[in-house]
């Protein structure tokens, strides 16, 4: 089922300044950036380490691109800080259905596109002891062309 901590999502007001803090303080470098229009965020993934299942663990820094996005609303209410934890899932569809069967509310009927081409869904924080929880199935890694 769940294979690793995929990432910890951190909401911030200024993505560039937050990236610089993590770079200057801890030496973390940006692995990937993108704007997710559907979720209304600009994000940077900072790779922390490789994992035994072939994936990696990241910090995901999230800056809202609009105030009405989920991260924008959360940031206005709570300020900067940890927004969610994401677990790697071998099969986000099957794993989320199994978890739903245990009485945990799954926020999306069908998984959506996440960072770096992944498939994601979220679990309701009230059912997860106050923690917004994301399930992530990473996009297949393409083999390099020779």
DSSP state, 131?
-
Contact of 86 with 135, CB cutoff 8 Å: yes
- Determine the Cα–Cα distance for residues 129 and 34; give it in Å rounded to an integer: 30
- Determine the Cα–Cα distance for residues 95 and 146; give it in Å rounded to an integer: 35
DSSP state, 106?
B
Reported pTM: 0.90
User: Would you please indicate which residues are annotated as catalytic (active-site) residues?
Assistant: 7, 43, 60, 84, 134
Tokens 């803090």 — which residue? 21
For 122, half-sphere exposure in the C-beta direction (CA atoms, 13 angstrom radius) is: 15
Tens of pLDDT, residue by residue over 8-60, are 999 999 999 999 999 999 999 999 999 999 999 999 999 999 887 778 899 99
């Amino acid at each position: 089922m769940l294979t690793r901590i995929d990432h910890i999502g951190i909401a911030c007001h200024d993505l560039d300044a937050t990236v610089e803090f993590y770079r200057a303080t801890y030496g973390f470098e940006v692995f990937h950036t993108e704007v997710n229009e559907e979720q209304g965020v600009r994000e940077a993934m900072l790779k922390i380490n490789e994992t035994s299942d072939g994936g990696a663990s990241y910090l995901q820094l999230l800056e809202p691109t609009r105030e009405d996005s989920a991260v924008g609303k959360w940031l206005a209410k709570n300020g900067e800080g940890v927004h969610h934890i994401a677990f790697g899932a071998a099969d986000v569809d099957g794993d989320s259905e199994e978890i739903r069967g245990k009485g945990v509310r799954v926020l999306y009927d069908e998984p959506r596109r996440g960072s770096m081409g992944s498939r994601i869904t979220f679990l309701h924080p009230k059912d997860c002891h106050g923690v917004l929880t994301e399930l992530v199935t990473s996009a297949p890694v393409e083999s390099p062309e020779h």
